Amino acid sequence: MSLTVRARMRRAGLDMHIHVDLPTEGVTAVFGRSGCGKTSLLRIIAGLDRVPGAEVCFDDQTWQGLNASIPLEKRRIGLVFQESSLLPHLGVRDNLLYGYQRTPDSQRRHRPEAIIDLLGLGTLIERRIDQLSGGQRQRIALGRALLASPQLLLLDEPLSALDSQSKREIMPFLDRLSGEIGVPIIYVSHAAAEIERLADHVALMERGRIESVEPIQQALSRPDSPLFADEGPASVLMGTLQASDAPDLQMFRSGALTLRLALPNPVQAGPTTVRLRIGARDVSLAIEPTTGISILNQLPFTIEAVHARDERRVIIRGRLVSGDLLLAEVSGWSARELLLQPGKRVFALVKAVSLLD
Ligand SMILES: Nc1ncnc2c1ncn2[C@@H]1O[C@H](COP(=O)(O)OP(=O)(O)OP(=O)(O)O)[C@@H](O)[C@H]1O
């Protein structure tokens, strides 16, 4: 399954040249600097902008071809923008049901109660639109889009107008969307934190072109990734949480890899996949396992690449026993002194992790 887009167009100061196959499983984030053409790409996919000669194919359906184009409503796309326009004269319930009631029975995939539950909207259902916070509005907008039973959801910076508290509140709901609803999502954002948390694949966009489409872990394995511009290089591991013998520790497992976590707030253990973020600055390297040290995790680590970040700092990419990639940031001096080079087996000392929840 994929979403193929081919389009060429000139806009003020931008030469858009798109030729891409985007995955249609899970969340595909489109990441790039302001003005690189992300919204323009979504509008082409949705059919809101008609570009002569463009092609848009979703699985076996041609949405736009050389001779034909089908309109937005027939594409069955759910759209949620930065500030979604709910209908102000309707209450929350009627806004939610707006698309549902216009969807033929045979195409309805979700029950309103299930979506209300999924997005935690139960207590808001009797409210007027002007009685909602920004985060609540975005949840209603997501619910309304889902209840129209889309085959593809396009989210254009849905969190960017929200404060950080509202972002934190809405994130778990977004996380559940693709997993529980099974609808593929194209997620435009220039916030690396959202992408680390939500994306399965990342499409990097630059100056009107898609430069790469990769699984999230691969996108994070390049030390010079544009995703790292704000927070510095980091790795994301995916695994499950388990209880440990020590009451104040939890175990994170990914294949043959186990990490001990001292989380500020314990999270329920279980089979649900969680994401663990490890900043490269929080990883040191040692030639041998070290005793008498407070660090909880010393992980066997095979160096794959060494990348000079600047004159003094070096990013080392290595592979863990689980096959996961991990980045470590060390001084250039240490890299020389310890002869850190591809193929060498060392130990990654992980000083801090955060659970992306
Ligand atoms: N309707 C339009 N007519 C002409 N030019 C436009 C139009 N919409 C956008 N542009 C221009 O096209 C370029 C790409 O805009 P677009 O909104 O797609 O970028 P973006 O990556 O989504 O940016 P941002 O992250 O700031 O939302 C910009 O230079 C913009 O000024």
CATH of the domain at 294: 2.40.50.100
The two most distant CA atoms of the chain are separated, in Å, by 71
Q: Say whether both 79 and 159 belong to one domain.
A: yes
Quick check: CB of 38 below 6 Å from ligand 1?
A: yes
Q: What is the ipTM of this complex?
A: 0.93
Residue 12 lies in a domain: yes
232: pLDDT confidence band, cut at 50, 70 and 90? confident
Count of domains in the chain?
2
- Ligand 1: which of 39, 48, 81, 156 to mutate, most ligand atoms within 8 Å of CB? 39
Q: Say whether both 194 and 301 belong to one domain.
A: no
Q: Measured in whole angstroms, how far is the alpha carbon of residue 224 from the centre of its chain?
A: 19
Decide if pLDDT at 178 tops 80: no
- Encode pLDDT of 272-301 as tens digits: 889 999 999 999 999 999 988 889 999 999
Confidence (pLDDT) at 126: 93
Decide if pLDDT at 69 tops 90: no
Long-range contact set of residues 294-297: C-beta below 8 Å, sequence gap at least 24: 295/349, 295/350, 295/351, 296/249, 296/259, 296/260, 296/261, 296/262, 296/350, 297/259, 297/260, 297/348, 297/349, 297/350
Q: Say whether both 326 and 223 belong to one domain.
A: no
321: pLDDT confidence band, cut at 50, 70 and 90? very high
Q: Say whether both 299 and 175 belong to one domain.
A: no
- Ligand 1: which of 11, 195, 209 to mutate, most ligand atoms within 8 Å of CB? 11
Long-range contact set of residues 50-56: C-beta below 8 Å, sequence gap at least 24: 51/7, 51/8, 51/9, 53/7, 53/8, 54/5, 54/6, 54/7, 54/8, 54/9, 55/4, 55/5, 55/6, 55/7, 56/3, 56/4, 56/5, 56/6, 56/7
Residue 23 lies in a domain: yes
Structural domain of 99: 2-228
Contact 206, 213 (CB under 8 A): no
Mean pLDDT of 130-158: 91
The residues with which 236 forms a beta bridge, in sequence order, are: 277
Q: Which of 47, 52, 62, 57 is nearest to 7 (CA)?
A: 52
Q: What is the distance between the alpha carbons of residues 98 and 107, in angstroms, rounded to a whole number?
A: 15
Q: Say whether both 213 and 305 belong to one domain.
A: no
Mean pLDDT of 129-155: 91
Decide if pLDDT at 25 tops 80: yes
Confidence (pLDDT) at 118: 85
Residue 290 lies in a domain: yes
Residue 337: CB partners within 8 Å, gap ≥ 6? Answer: none
CATH label of the domain that carries residue 111: 3.40.50.300
Q: Say whether both 213 and 320 belong to one domain.
A: no
Quick check: CB of 67 below 6 Å from ligand 1?
A: no
Q: Say whether both 125 and 40 belong to one domain.
A: yes
Q: How many residues are given for the chain?
A: 357
Give me ligand 1 centre to Cα 51, in Å: 14
